[in-house]
């Protein structure tokens, strides 16, 4: 069995009250290290506020509402990924997700043009994502629909994307850019800002299929986006810690937030991701205030209830 580092109690206390906005847990169509109910109980034990349930394939708002009822005090939030299984750039899926209490919408991940072309290739020695094998299996069965496009042939944002973003702004949903390319991310975030989306996340900008430069990240920050710093990206060898650390410094900790992207059986327990990452950043020279901003303040802001909704409509 692989031995993983375990966070010190002091580091757990340091990130108390944080949300993890990116976890992959069961039930799922690929093996996961923990189910959502068990994870909620673990979060309660270690003092974390809540988490967003991410699935590349199914909406999770209904699951989240069941877990919240079963484990009071842990704010488990639902989401939607606009992949082929959800109908792609599908306004109906977004509307239903919003009415079901979803908080966050990922733009295409496994079915983005960029990710399909990248084929989940990673640096030598890096751990491949678990969904890559499933995608290959679907293709082997002849299940290979076209990718979900967000820009037209000229590189301009598509009308159906603007329609989805406008609907998200109406419901004050959080945009996450998924596995789009750097060029696509810039186009989509600009369009999102133009239609009035308040909260925008650039999903793991250091990941193998994104690789946004510090200058590109700075441009997105100027548009109001937050950079997501995922624990698994450097932990699994997809990027050097020093690269992520330099990107945080160049764009400012106030524009970054920490998430784990955990749930894979080969990786540390999900609840260990945030304190382990906080310790790494503290050791790299970030101040306690800066790390608390990234781990707690910004995740709380991004997880906050929509301003257009009442408690009854999202619970």
Note the pLDDT tens digit of each residue in 189-215.
999 999 999 999 999 999 999 999 999
Of the two residues 310 and 178, the one the predictor is more confident about is 178
| Residue carrying the six token digits 């901003």 | 293
- The whole-chain average pLDDT of the chain stands at 94
Residue 190: exposure state from Cβ atoms within 10 A (0-12, 13-18, ≥19): middle
Cα–Cα distance for residue pair 13/191, rounded to 1 Å: 39
> What domains sit in the chain, N to C, each tagged with a CATH number?
9-127+145-301 (3.20.20.140)
Average pLDDT over residues 214-226: 98
* 143-157 residue pLDDT tens: 888 999 999 999 999
Position 121 scores a pLDDT of 66
pTM as predicted: 0.93
| Omega prior to 27 cis, within 30 of 0 | yes
pLDDT at position 25, please? 97
Reported confidence tier of residue 119, pLDDT bands at 50, 70, 90: low
Question: Within a 10 A sphere around the Cβ of 41, how many other Cβ atoms?
Answer: 14
Instruction: Please give the average per-residue pLDDT across 285-309, as a whole number.
Output: 94
Q: Please write the tens of the pLDDT for every residue from 84-112.
A: 999 999 999 999 999 999 999 999 999 99
């Amino acid at each position: 069995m692989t031995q993983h580092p375990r966070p010190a109690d002091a580091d757990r206390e340091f990130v108390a009250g944080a949300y993890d906005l990116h976890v992959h847990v069961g039930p799922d169509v690929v093996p996961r290290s923990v189910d959502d109910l068990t994870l909620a109980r673990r979060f309660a034990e270690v003092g974390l506020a809540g988490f967003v349930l991410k699935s590349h394939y199914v909406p999770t708002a209904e699951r989240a509402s069941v877990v919240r009822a079963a484990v009071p005090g842990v704010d488990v939030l639902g989401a939607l990924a606009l992949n082929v299984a959800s109908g792609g750039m599908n306004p109906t899926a977004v509307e239903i997700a919003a009415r079901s209490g979803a908080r966050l919408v990922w733009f295409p991940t496994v079915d983005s043009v960029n990710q399909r072309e990248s084929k989940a290739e990673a640096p030598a020695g890096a751990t491949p994502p678990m969904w890559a094998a499933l995608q290959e299996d679907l293709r082997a069965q002849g299940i290979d629909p076209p990718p979900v496009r967000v820009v037209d042939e000229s590189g301009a944002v598509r009308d159906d994307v603007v329609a989805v973003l406008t609907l998200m702004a109406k419901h004050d949903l959080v945009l996450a850019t998924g596995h789009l390319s750097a060029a696509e991310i810039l186009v989509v975030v600009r369009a999102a800002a133009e239609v009035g989306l308040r909260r925008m996340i650039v999903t793991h900008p250091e990941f193998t299929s994104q690789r946004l430069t510090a200058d590109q990240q700075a441009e997105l920050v100027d548009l109001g986006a937050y950079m997501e710093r995922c624990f698994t990206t450097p932990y699994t060898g997809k990027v050097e810690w020093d690269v992520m650390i330099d990107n945080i410094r160049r764009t400012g900790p106030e524009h970054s937030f920490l998430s784990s992207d955990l749930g894979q059986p080969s990786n540390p327990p999900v609840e260990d991701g945030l304190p382990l990452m906080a310790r790494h950043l503290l050791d790299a020279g970030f101040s306690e205030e800066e790390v608390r901003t990234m781990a707690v303040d910004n995740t709380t802001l991004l997880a906050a209830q929509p301003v257009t909704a009442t408690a009854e409509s999202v619970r």
